Each structure stands twice: as C-alpha cells, then as structure tokens.
Amino acid sequence: MKSLKDTDSVILDLIQKETERQEHGIELIASENYVSKAVMEATGSVLTNKYSEGYVGRRYYGGNEVIDEVEQLAIDRCKALFGCEHANVQPLSGSPANAAVYFAVLKPGDKVLGLKLDHGGHLSHGHPVNFSGMLYDFVQYEVEEESGLIDMGKVREIALREKPKMILAGFSAYSRNLDWKAFKEIADEVGAISMADISHVAGLIAGKAIDSPVPFFDIVTTTTHKTLRGPRGAVIMCKNEFAKAIDRGLFPGMQGGPHDHVNAAKAVAFLEALQPEFQDYAKKVIVNAQVMAQELMNRGYKVVSNGTDNHLMVIDMTSKGVSGKEAEVALEEVGISTSRSTVPFDTRKPMDPSGLRIGTPAITTRGFTTEDCVELVDIMDKTIQARENKEALSEIRKEVVTLCKKHPLYL
C-alpha cells in the first residue's frame, strides 16, 4: 500500500493494526467472515470511480459499457448459484435491501409477520426502533420457551388471525433450519407475499449444506458478506412477476448509484461460491458449529435449542453465572471476538443480555478443524472461569495466538 503510506500513514497504521488484530485473534462473530484477496482486489479497483444509476443497458450516465458487463456477470452468477428467476445485485447492504423490498411491495401501514428481535430476528424485521417497525405494521412471532424452536402451528394461527400482506422468514440468531415449505404454505393459505431473508445462511445454502427457500419464495434477500464470504453488500432475488416492482423499488425508489466496485467483488465471490471447494467449506462450517455446541454443553453451558443445524448458536451464559457482556469482555481480553445477545424470554436488558452468540464461518474459512474447535471451547471455558485473573488471561492470550498461527490468514 505504497500510495496510502505516502498520503495518509495514520490510516495505513490503523489498517495494519486491524490486520494484526484479525490475524492473531479468533473471530467467532456469527455474521463475520474473511474474504479472499481476489474479492478485496475487485473492491479496491477503479470501478469505484463510476456512476451508473439505472440498470444494465438502461443507464442515466454515459460510459457504462464495461460496468454493464460487470453487473450482468454478477446477475448471471447469482442466478446460477441460487437458481433464482431474477436477481438485483445493487443493494448496498442487508437493511437497504429489505427496505427496498418493503418499499416495492407494501404500502406504509401494511401488516407483515416477522420473527421478534430478541427471539433471533433482525432489526429490519419490524423492531420498533427501526424504520421497518415505524413504517409498517409488523406482527412478531416468537420461539417456544421450552424448546427454543419456532412452532409453525403458532405461526399459522397468527397468520390466519392477522391476515398479513407479507410473511417474512429469516433470522440473525436462530440455530435451527427454518421450514421454508411450511412458511410458503401458510403464506399461500392467507394470500400473503412470501419473503425470506437468508442473510446469515446464504453461504450454507449456496454450498448446498442446507435447504433453500429460493425455489418456493416470492422474494429472497441476502447480505453477501456473512457465510457467503463476499464483500459488504446484498442482493434481492425474486420470481419474475416481482422483478419490475423490486427493481423500481430499489432504484429510483430507495438508492441512487450502485457501488460498481462492490458489485464486481460480489461477482467474484459468487464465482468462488460456485466452485466445488465452497461446498466443502459450507459443510465444515456446520460440523465445526455442531462440535462447538456439543463441547460447550458437555462443559455445562446451556445452548439455546440444545444444538445447531447451521453456523451459529446462542449460549445462555446465566448457566455459568455470568452475563453475556461479561463473557464477551473476558473473551475479548484473550483475543476472541464474540457478540453478546439476548436469549428468548431474556430477563436482562438488551445492552447487558444473558446470551452470547457465536458462529464458525470465519474460523472455518481460516482452516480450523474439529480438533481446533475442541481446543477453542477449552480455551473459552478456561477464559470465562479465569475472567477476574489478569495473569491467567494473559497466559491464555498466548494460546490463542498459537492457535491462530497454525492457520495464517493474510500475513
């Protein structure tokens, strides 16, 4: 990064610090991952210079003949990867993608069913502090207190009672497979549009490790930067009958010019995800998560729903007499990144909840095996027990570095 060094050594220093932090820390935040150098090179390219409002072949600016090819490639690869009828690759991120969908197919005040935030849903699925909860009449479904699972019978009851315009299936902190078919049947029964937000599991779906809603659902949104391992961004997929509304909803409805450098990087990430190795990665992500869940439960930790079908789990830390935040802070101290999280029916406050959400996409990308995952759970357990002992924590920090050095990332 010679030019950056000459122009702004302060930012360069910070990038180097962050590189060091990523290289020698363990990333367990379920929504994070490490992209390839190819994805980063596309993101850092001259495509950032271009304005291209509009769509392929229909732009409001000149000079888009190359950009058209880039965007078309991203669209074609997205279609090949997920088998969707129509793909819009322009959303800047997950929340704007969802906003564009709502804008395209709903009117303010329309009723939508979505999973409650503290039961594993996302802010943009109708939380009162989010635009979604302010502009639309979201009715929230929940998980069961005992099992931690979504009861589809109850979802159907709510749908029959509320007659929503749209039913949204998707989550940020739910460790079980959704019954896509059941959601779609309920939507059909009440005449609702079916929407899935697969932001968290898109990589597992692309890697054919779990079932896809794309063949049934009217509209599917996803971020590209979580398990899918692409640049920060999102796509909207839909049936052809919604294509026009979705495209108009996104532009000119919600966004201005697309980020062409990022869309090129999305195309690169889709190409990577189309390779057979990506299917190995997706399977390993799940196996690693299942090993970690089992090892945690063996050590007396309560895992919500008692296991996982995907890349993530929420640990109820009150089973160990600590809060989610205390656990997060202790793990941070030894170089392990996690995110505190509410557990369903949490009695603690959202800023200091009972749970800790962890996930395995990033560690799997850097090559962690199931044996490494067992060692990692050991390290985590030791850390939480030693949370008030600075000396012990600095010894554990060294073990974390050793484990990271076994699986080099960018350095």
Ligand X SMILES: *Cc1c(COP(=O)(O)O)cnc(C)c1O
- The answer to whether residue 378 is catalytic is no
- The answer to whether residue 226 is catalytic is yes
CA distance 175 to 306: 9
Q: Residue 341: how many CB atoms within 10 A of its CB?
A: 26
| Contact status: 31 vs ligand X (CB under 6 A) | yes
Give the total of residues touching ligand X (CB under 6 A).
Answer: 14
Stretch that binds ligand X, among 12-20, 170-178, 343-351, 373-381 (CB under 6 A): 170-178
C-alpha 161: how far from chain center: 31
Compute the least distance from the CB of residue 197 to ligand X, in Å. Answer: 4
Q: Quick check: 318 and 356 in contact, CB under 8 A? A: no
CA distance 115 to 273: 28
Structure-derived torsion over alpha carbons of residues 250, 252, 255, 258, reported in degrees to the nearest 10: 90
| Contact status: 59 vs ligand X (CB under 6 A) | no
Selected from 50, 77, 116, 122, the binder of ligand X by CB under 6 A is 122
Compute the least distance from the CB of residue 233 to ligand X, in Å. Answer: 8
Compute the least distance from the CB of residue 96 to ligand X, in Å. Answer: 7
**Considering beta carbons, is residue 200 or 259 the nearer one to ligand X?**
200
| Contact status: 164 vs ligand X (CB under 6 A) | no
The one catalytic residue among 71, 118, 197, 272: 197
- The answer to whether residue 410 is catalytic is no
| Contact status: 200 vs ligand X (CB under 6 A) | yes
Compute the least distance from the CB of residue 311 to ligand X, in Å. Answer: 12
Selected from 36, 45, 72, 93, the binder of ligand X by CB under 6 A is 93
Q: Quick check: 170 and 153 in contact, CB under 8 A? A: no
**What distances in angstroms separate CA 327 from CA 317, 321, 340, 384, one per listed residue?**
7, 10, 8, 6
Interface positions, 329-388, toward ligand X (CB under 6 A): none
Identify the H or E element spanning 86.
strand 86-88
**What distances in angstroms separate CA 253 from CA 92, 99, 118, one per listed residue?**
13, 10, 30
- Interaction pattern, residues 201-240, with ligand X; x per rule: CB under 6 A: ----------------------x-----------------
| Contact status: 259 vs ligand X (CB under 6 A) | no
- The answer to whether residue 223 is catalytic is yes
Q: Which of 384, 88, 387, 70 is nearest to 236 (CA)?
A: 88
Selected from 95, 194, 212, 255, the binder of ligand X by CB under 6 A is 95
User: In sequence order, what are the beta bridge partners of 336?
Assistant: 26
| Contact status: 323 vs ligand X (CB under 6 A) | no
CA distance 87 to 219: 10
**Which residues form the catalytic set?**
51, 53, 197, 223, 226, 232
Q: Which residues bind ligand X (CB under 6 A)?
A: 31, 93-95, 98, 122, 124, 170-172, 197, 199-200, 223
